[in-house]
Amino acid sequence: MPKASGELARRIVVGLLLVALVVIFFVTRPRATPPAATFFPCGSLNALSLTVDSPTRTMTIQRSAVDVPWTLVVGAGAPRLADQVQVQQTLDHLTLIAPEQLHPSARQAGLDGLHPPRLTIACREVGGGSYTLSVGNPSPGAADYYAQKSGDARVVGISAVVVDAMNRVLADPSRAGLPASTG
């Protein structure tokens, strides 16, 4: 019997060592870093509507559900079927918005041009989430515009490329999904 109890003890020790190795493996394994939160999460997969508004023009692309085609409304006009690929590209471009820098002094000095904004971009998502981005004046000496997201007190700089693209969308709705031939 002593030989059997020694064998049992050896198996228990080996088993405990294996359990310890498995625990060490799982505790020390590399983990994927979670993706950075999107500043303006209005992508083509989860958006139901996007409105781009300036003091002189308004454009809305909308759908009632994610499996329904996009329609486009310019001003007070009737909804028309939109170019689905152009809509997707416009929305996905918005998800790339990243604050380039903070501008706390712009707010204090009243230089941000956010009251009223020169451009407002509003998005509504599946599940009820909504986001509004107010765009103000160009930042002096930089290639960005002052901007502020609803619910966020920070005044940030966003790329002029995004602002210029949204201004082009307002000027020519075919850039946001309206086929140029129906324009």
**pLDDT over 90 (residue 123):** yes
> Residue ranges of the domains in the chain?
1-31, 47-182
Arithmetic mean of pLDDT, 106-124: 84
What pLDDT score does 177 carry?
54
Q: Which of 4-8, 27-31, 53-57, 76-80 has the highest mean pLDDT?
A: 53-57
What pLDDT score does 69 carry?
94
Question: Residues 13-55: pLDDT tens digits?
Answer: 887 777 777 777 667 776 655 455 678 888 888 899 999 999 9
Looking at per-residue pLDDT, the higher value among 51 and 90 belongs to 51
What pLDDT score does 176 carry?
62
What are the DSSP calls for the chain, one per residue? -HHHHHHHHHHHHHHHHHHHHHHHHHHHS--PPPPPPPSS---TTTEEEEEEE-SS-EEEEE-SSTTS--EEEETTPPPEE--HHHHHHHHHHHTT----EE-HHHHHHT-S--SS-SEEEEEEEGGG-EEEEEEEEEPTTSSEEEEEETT----EEEEHHHHHHHHHHHH-GGGGT--GGG-
